[in-house]
Structures are given as C-alpha cells and as structure tokens.
Amino acid sequence: MGKTYKGPWSKGRRRNVMALDDVSLQVREGRTLGVVGESGSGKSTLGRLLIDLESPTRGAVRFRGRELSHRGREESLAMRKQLQIVFQDPYESLNPRMKVGHALTEALAIHTKMTKGERRATAEEYLERVGLSADDFWKFPHQFSGGQRQRVCIARALIVEPALVVCDEAVSALDVSVQASILELLRELQRDLGLTYVFISHDLGVIKNIASDVVVMKSGQIVERGEVGEIFEDPKTDYTRELIAAAPIVDPHSKRFR
Ligand SMILES: Nc1ncnc2c1ncn2[C@@H]1O[C@H](COP(=O)(O)OP(=O)(O)OP(=O)(O)O)[C@@H](O)[C@H]1O
Ligand SMILES: [Mg+2]
C-alpha cells in the first residue's frame, strides 16, 4: 500500500509527499512488530493506516481478512474497537479537564452496551491492571506523573479489549527507568490479554527490548525486515548498520551503556 500527502505550496506549485511508497507487510498475531527508521521515514503514517485513522491512497489494509474502510459505519466502528493506539505525549492525548475515570468510561460508552455501573467497575479494574489504583478514577491528568499518565493512556487503549495496539513512540518522552517499567507492563499485558503490538520507535534500544519482529523504514519504504535477533546481529543494509551504530543502546534491565 501507499500514502501520498499534499505537500506545502512552493513557487506556485504543490508537490506531493510520498509518505509511504509501496509498503507491504503482515503483522503476526500475538507478536510485537517493531518499526524503526529515521525521522520522516513514514513510521507514524504506517501506524495511522494500520488502525484506520487514515486510508491509504493506494492499496488496502486488511484486519483478519476484512478491509479497513475509514468511513465511520457501524461495522467499521466495531473493527476500530479492535485497533487502538498509544501516542508519545500522554498529556496531549488526554483531555486536561476530564477526570481519567471518565476518559476510560467514555471509551466503553462508545464501544460497549455496559451500564454506567459496569463501566465504572471496568475502569477501576483497568486502572489497577496498569498499576494505578481504583481511587485514581477521580483524578485529573495533571495529578499524575508522565509515566502514570502513560499508564492511563494504556488503560484507555486496552479497556475496549482490542486485538492490536499501535504504540507510536509511546515511551520516548519518559526517563530510562520509567521506560523500563512501562515496557515491562506492556509485555505483561500482552501475555495476559493476548495482544498484538506494533511498536514504533526511533530508539533501537527500546525496539531490541520489546520487539519480536522488526521492519526498518527509509523514505517511505521497508528496506529490511526480520526477527529482532537477525536485525541486530546481522543487519543486511548499511542503513540499518548505521542506525544501530548511531544508537547509544541502553539495556533497561542493566541500565548500563554498551
Ligand atoms: N498529514 C500530513 N500532511 C503532509 N505531509 C505529511 C503528513 N503526515 C506526514 N507527512 C509527511 O510524510 C512523511 C512521513 O512522515 P511520518 O510522520 O510518517 O514519519 P515518521 O517516521 O513517523 O517520523 P518521526 O520519527 O519524526 O516521527 C514526512 O515527509 C512527513 O513530512
Ligand atoms: Mg512519527
């Protein structure tokens, strides 16, 4: 599939930006696909297409055999419940005036037929599931730390019981130690809930930590793909070798630079 955006006007012309150029990939269920590549290589565009926030301009995205339509029909709402996203900045993706409990029950109101009481109980359950407490239901986003806010965003994505969660630079704004605890939480939730992740990050240390498969992107194309071990131990392209060489890889378990 591909995705072209209208670029900015320049000298009376508007050039197209080919954000994704003929990308073909399969996300394996129950695994974590890491997406790496330099800034502007198309990672976030790919993430948005995978969860139907936007449509490709060429080709299609299929989820369990059915094409995503991006047209807001009832059927597509049901499909979109299966496809959730967690962004980099939890402060921007949460409404500062909304208690986090309501941010969670809102998602349930859209996607389920639960009663108000059931929605509240489910929200409290998911707050605990992500390492927060049921009392946090009544707090506002500013009453949390960055790491805790990201836990709220994870709870909000998971509460509708999705199959696939795209994490777009989900830990990039966090300290290394907080990153490690969020990655651990994501791994635990994946195991317990049978989730599939697409994990987008410019940080190869993070990708090495969480991904089972990796695609390397450059200028809207996939230039290399494989299991995480192969990519890091035996990169096939100079581009991947350079990405690896440029990254000061911190192992979140040892917290030592290597
Ligand atoms: N809505 C848009 N309108 C116009 N151009 C866009 C739009 N979104 C992305 N682009 C362009 O598409 C290309 C890919 O962008 P994308 O955000 O997917 O890259 P990325 O790999 O996520 O980069 P980063 O690591 O900086 O987040 C870039 O050239 C970008 O400027
Ligand atoms: Mg991006």
Residue 248: inside a domain, yes or no?
yes
Predicted confidence pLDDT, tens digits, the chain (258 residues): 999 999 888 888 888 899 999 999 999 999 999 999 999 999 999 999 999 999 999 999 999 988 887 666 677 788 889 999 999 876 678 999 999 999 999 999 999 999 999 999 999 999 999 999 999 999 999 999 999 999 999 999 999 999 999 999 999 989 999 999 999 999 999 999 999 999 999 999 999 999 999 999 999 999 999 999 999 999 999 999 999 988 765 555 554 444
Question: Nearest residue CA, atom 4 of ligand 1?
Answer: 5
Look-up of token digits 């969480």:
210
> To test ligand 1's pocket by mutation, which of 15, 35, 36, 44 has the most ligand atoms within 8 angstroms of CB?
44
Q: What are phi and psi of 34, to 5 degrees?
A: -85, 135
| Strands (DSSP E) found in the chain | 3-10, 13-20, 32-37, 62-63, 66-67, 83-86, 164-168, 196-200, 213-218, 221-227
The total of structural domains in the chain comes to: 1
Please give the distance, rounded to the nearest whole angstrom, from the Cα atom of residue 51 to the centre of ligand 1.
Answer: 16
Residue 141: inside a domain, yes or no?
no
Please give the distance, rounded to the nearest whole angstrom, from the Cα atom of residue 201 to the centre of ligand 2.
Answer: 8
Ligand whose nearest atom lies closest to the CA of 219 = 1
44 lines ligand 1 (CB under 6 A): yes
Residue 11: inside a domain, yes or no?
yes
Entry pTM: 0.93
Residue 200: inside a domain, yes or no?
yes
Six token digits for residue 45: 């565009």
> To test ligand 1's pocket by mutation, which of 38, 41, 172 has the most ligand atoms within 8 angstroms of CB?
41
Residue 203: inside a domain, yes or no?
yes
Residue 203, helix vs strand vs coil: coil
d(CA 20, CA 3): 5
d(CA 216, CA 242): 12
Give the model's pLDDT for residue 257. 46
Residue 145: inside a domain, yes or no?
no
Question: Nearest residue CA, atom 16 of ligand 1?
Answer: 42
Give the model's pLDDT for residue 76. 77
Residue 55: inside a domain, yes or no?
yes
Q: CATH code at 33?
A: 3.40.50.300
Q: Specify whether the CB–CB gap between 154 and 135 falls below 8 A.
A: no
Please give the distance, rounded to the nearest whole angstrom, from the Cα atom of residue 166 to the centre of ligand 2.
Answer: 12
Give the model's pLDDT for residue 256. 47
The residue range of the domain holding 20 is 1-68+164-173+194-258
Give the model's pLDDT for residue 25. 96
Please give the distance, rounded to the nearest whole angstrom, from the Cα atom of residue 171 to the centre of ligand 2.
Answer: 13
Residue 108: inside a domain, yes or no?
no
CA distances from 45 to 139, 200, 252 (A): 33, 11, 28
